[in-house]
Structure 1
Amino acid sequence: MREFIVEADGGSRGNPGPAGYGAVVIDAATGETLAEAAEFLGTVTNNVAEYRGLLAGLRAARELDPTARVHVRMDSKLVVEQMSGRWKIKHPGMKPLAMEASRVFPPGQVTYEWIPRERNKHADRLANEAMDRGAAGAPPATGTTPGTAPEPAAAAAGPAAASAAAPVAGPGAGTAASATDPAAGVPATATPAEDAGTAEADHRAARTVAASATAPTAATTAPTPSVGWGSAPDLGAPATFVLLRHGETPLTPQKRFSGSGGSDPSLSGTGREQAERVAAALARRGTIQAIVSSPLARTRETAGIVAARLGLEVGIDDGLRETDFGAWEGLTFAEVHERHPEDLAAWLASPDAEPTGGGESFAATAVRIAAARDRLIEAYAGRTVLLVTHVTPIKTLVRLALNAPAESLFRMELSAASLSVVAYYADGNASVRLLNDTAHLR
């Protein structure tokens, strides 16, 4: 039996907006491209375009061999999870699309895998080219898939009309009901509905496949944010991580490397006072429902002070521990620069570089943190949990939520006993709500 790989993508320049899809069929054995498909769709939403790309890829594979096994790879977590049966399809506009896709091949003949956007460049390029043709005046494809026929640009076309009255104009606009940030008391809106955006949790902080219709290429413009720009009453409450860096230790004011590979210092007197102030602030807000800590002493002590004030137990997750800085543990940056200049230069240049003496690279830390994140999202879906951890884990969670490059870790300030907040929604979206708040320490 032949095996095909289908890679598909879709996007809109605006949500809804001028949209297109791309799909490619690849021979799994040889890697040869067997078929391509791309079309301009008129005005529809991101999710509609992605489903249309999936349908085009499946249909192209069926024309080549209806008996083949097909492995679909897409960078839309929403489509992959829905088609895999792990997420319910609650939005009525999405159900016909998923049903049509499930009927292209017999049950069990198609499997699905999420891949990062950078591994879906072929389909992404085809989708961009389709949107470029639309911007140049090409007519949209005729809608043959239920619920996807485009309407004039003046209307909110496609299934998006079922959940959004019109394209929103800014954060909190549209039909989103305002909420209160569980950690900071600042306004925060709900995530978009299933068809209102496709920002991915640790991989797409702001999803638009291409630039605005007036720009020649996607590389020349910034992406359009989707989280917080619409409403999603059917997605429920997010898993909200209130990220607390531990209080000061004797090493903190000296800015010495203090990871998981050296001594495990306890809080200083200042650090304990900081933890008490955090505890009082969180008690006033009254939103924390659970506490999980890194296993290291400084985090467990901080978490214990907060837990005593809130009347909660403290869970431990080893994935939240700090990076192992190897031979640099206990040294200042200047001391490392003097003793290990080449290793330090490599570490600053690449996330794959390890600290001297077999420490942990930032790339390895990110894999560990992402795994812990996924475990905790599943365990605390719809709840607000305080994660008491360290500089690198918190920065990594923020970086992944924003889909920022690894070097962004060196461009964030994170004070002792500071609070940051990231919310994770059921459709895979992540929303950074707060970073390095220290107001409670003043």
Structure 2
Amino acid sequence: MARALIVEADGGSRGNPGVAGYGALVRDASTGELLAERAEPLGLASNNVAEYSGLIAGLEAAAEIDPSARVEVRMDSKLVVEQMAGRWKIKHEDMKRLALEAQEIVRSLTTAGGAVTWTWIPREKNKDADKLSNVAMDGETVVRNLWRTTEPDDPAEVSEPAVDATDAEAAAAPAPASAQAGRPVRVLMVRHGVTDFTVEGRLDGRGGPNPDLNKQGLAQARSVAAGIAAKTGDLPVRFIASDLSRAQETIRPAAEARGQQVEIDPDWDEQNFGEWDGELVRDLVQHKDFARLRDDPTYAAPGGGETHEQLTSRVRDALRRAVESASDGSVVVVATHRKPIMVVLAEVLGLDLAHAWMLAIGPGSFTGLELWADGHGSVSFVNDTNHLRATRGARAQ
């Protein structure tokens, strides 16, 4: 039976815009027990951006506790509550993007059988979330998954069966997540950070020059590491990257922070663009066949390029391997490229190539998925760049 949860969220900015941070917590609706806490600094941001960021963090924590939960969101921001409830319009571009991220999480909860309701509360009744947001503005990150330290009251809630001691082989090796009925595997896909090719607008596939991250990209990699820590907390994490240096450089700081190695899987590489690799896109658009590379899944660029169908086949295999080998309760973090992320989202959402191109996937962004053993899945968020705010703020100064 789905759990009933309460999310309390807040955010603040000392200067508006100024030094910002968010706080969020999750309680059991029946007992009031505190189940999770989140706080994260945001660098330079506005109050409204911080409040939306707190909402997203609270929803993500609730979905982690129970992907099909019935959630009541309580906030003292009338603006956020009314906008998320659909009664007020959203005009600011930053808030539109954040609202879309929140709506993706809401959609995943409702698709799984849950529900989300919105409640405005006065500031004095939101003190715990406000306290966490002030902790974040002081520069501290908080990720506490308190529900993992308590035993369930109802034995029926224990989903893992006892291991038969006579089955030595089964006892020696934990079952992969694909064998854990009803428990999805969390996949966090990270697009690589910025290279000089990214800035210049050049094609850069698996057969091309393979540039490293530039100064901005290296700063994004540090922000990616902080963002991964905030999203995964104390959960076990497996790090996978494509064979291209920019993907490995983007995820390496996060892996090193946990004392882990990055696994390399070339099937997560960007599409091979043949002799067009390294060319400026603004020049290639004049080529009579360039539109076919975008629109025709069977077309390969000249000089040994790869079709979209070939790309889809290997990315599908890479995702299957990553999910099937995931340990129970872990998060698989994959550093890859725009088109592989497009492929995965298209597979989960049932999009054709023309509609997949409409998905925005920025450098250094996060895309979150929950994938079940039966092949079904849900998209928790797309193009999340909250963790990059400090990087953008520093660059603007």
Shorter-chain TM-score tier: 0.5 to 0.7
The answer to whether the 8 A contact 2:224-2:250 is kept is no
In structure 2, relative to structure 1, the CA distance for the partners of 1:269 and 1:225 (3 Å cut) is: closer
Q: Deviations over 1:229-284 (max 9, x none)?
A: 25997634321110011111111111211110111111101100000011122223
Number of equivalent positions: 237
Which of 331, 341, 350 is the equivalent residue of 2:279? Answer: 331
The answer to whether the 8 A contact 2:342-2:357 is kept is no
Correspondence 1:367 to 2:317: no
Counterpart Cα distance in 2 of 1:348 and 1:324: 13
Could you say which residue in structure 2 is the equivalent of 1:270? 216
Q: Which runs of 5+ in 1 are unaligned?
A: 1-162, 165-178, 193-223
Name the amino acid aligned to 1:237: R
Give secondary structure in 2 for the equivalent of 1:355: coil
Aligned-residue CA RMSD (Å) = 3.3
In structure 2, relative to structure 1, the CA distance for the partners of 1:238 and 1:360 (3 Å cut) is: same
Radius of gyration: which is bigger?
A: 1
Correspondence 1:385 to 2:332: yes
The answer to whether the 8 A contact 1:239-1:377 is kept is yes
Which of 257, 265, 270 is the equivalent residue of 1:309? Answer: 257
Give secondary structure in 2 for the equivalent of 1:385: strand
Correspondence 1:228 to 2:112: yes
Name the amino acid aligned to 2:281: F
In structure 2, relative to structure 1, the CA distance for the partners of 1:400 and 1:423 (3 Å cut) is: same
Q: Which runs of 5+ in 2 are unaligned?
A: 3-34, 41-55, 69-107, 116-155, 160-180, 390-397
Could you say which residue in structure 2 is the equivalent of 1:322? 270
Counterpart Cα distance in 2 of 1:278 and 1:293: 14
Could you say which residue in structure 1 is the equivalent of 2:348? 401
Counterpart Cα distance in 2 of 1:180 and 1:432: 22
Could you say which residue in structure 1 is the equivalent of 2:363? 416
In structure 2, relative to structure 1, the CA distance for the partners of 1:327 and 1:281 (3 Å cut) is: same
Q: Deviations over 1:195-236 (max 9, x none)?
A: xxxxxxxxxxxxxxxxxxxxxxxxxxxxx9984225997634
Counterpart Cα distance in 2 of 1:381 and 1:191: 18
Correspondence 1:241 to 2:187: yes
Could you say which residue in structure 2 is the equivalent of 1:426? 373
Residue 388 of structure 1: how far off its partner (Å): 0.6
The answer to whether the 8 A contact 1:181-1:433 is kept is no
Q: Name which structure has the greater RCO, CA cutoff 8 Å, separation 6+.
A: 2
The answer to whether the 8 A contact 2:338-2:361 is kept is yes
The answer to whether the 8 A contact 1:238-1:381 is kept is no
The answer to whether the 8 A contact 1:256-1:330 is kept is yes
TM-score, normalised with respect to structure 1: 0.49
Residue 351 of structure 1: how far off its partner (Å): 1.1
